[in-house]
Amino acid sequence: MSISRSETGRVEAFSDGVFAIVITLLILGIQVPEARTSDADLWRALRGLVPVIAGWVVSFAFVLVFWVAHHYLFAQLAHVNRGLLWLNGLLLLCIAFTPFPTALQARYLGMPAAAFLLSLAMFLSAASFSLLRWYASFADLMTSSVTMRERRSGMRRSLIGPTLYGVATLTSFRVPWVSLAIQVIVPLVFVMPSRVDVGGETL
């Protein structure tokens, strides 16, 4: 059963709410540090927050990239169906898990288990979005203005994320700093404009 174009706005609005909650939960992981009475103690406490703030920035950029990609994808849909609703829910499930491994890695920076869990969460989010894009592109849900060439180009670009996050997941136990570097680099890749973006697609 297909749902009309006007109904896609409700799906996107619900998804936007989930993205907003996830971003809010990310910032809640940064707590005001405790210090004694001296200014030096406070500066030391603030320096201790640097990994937490860095992790928040990376995860914020990660979620933001998917929000932008999700927005452009839904702008291209003529209608949605039951399958796309379930796949959209799978994406939101993966994205909603992000705050926990983000907080874990901030507390245990450089430890393989923490790097693995965040890399895995990012991989699952990226893979679920690729699956969502694939279904939307080839299940006759997009508007006729989106050519097959644009659909295939967007699909190829969407595979960059799962591929790199998969590498990050596999390398996290042996070289966790490589995993961390990939977590930082991937959002930057999608911030840069591309020929796909010009066509109205991203990721």
Spatial distance between the Cα atoms of 82 and 84, rounded to a whole number of angstroms: 6
Whether the per-residue pLDDT at 64 is higher than 70: the answer is yes
Q: What's the gap between Cα 120 and its chain centre? A: 12
Mean pLDDT of the chain: 87
Whether the per-residue pLDDT at 110 is higher than 60: the answer is yes
Mean local confidence (pLDDT), 62-77: 92
CA distances 183 to 117, 121, 159, Å, are 12, 11, 15
* pLDDT number for residue 197: 46
Residues with Cβ < 8 Å from 153, sequence gap 6 or more? 195, 196, 199, 201
**Would residue 110 be called left, alpha or beta, if left means φ above 0 and alpha means ψ between -120 and 50 degrees?**
left
CA distances 164 to 59, 137, 168, 179, Å, are 16, 22, 6, 9
Name the domain count of the chain.
1
3-state secondary structure string, the chain?
Answer: CEECHHHHHHHHHHHHHHHHHHHHHHHHCCCCCCCCCCHHHHHHHHHCCHHHHHHHHHHHHHHHHHHHHHHHHHHCECCEEHHHHHHHHHHHHHHHCCHHHHHHHHHCCCCHHHHHHHHHHHHHHHHHHHHHHHHHHHCCCECCCCCHHHHHHHHHHHCHHHHHHHHHHHHCCCCHHHHHHHHHHHHHHHHCCCHHHHCCCCC
* pLDDT number for residue 194: 57
Tell me which residue range forms the domain holding 135. 2-198
Instruction: Let me know if residue 203 belongs to a domain.
Output: no
Instruction: Let me know if residue 182 belongs to a domain.
Output: yes
pTM for this model (two decimals): 0.86
Instruction: Let me know if residue 35 belongs to a domain.
Output: yes
The encoded tokens of residue 103 equal: 């907080």
Mean local confidence (pLDDT), 17-39: 86
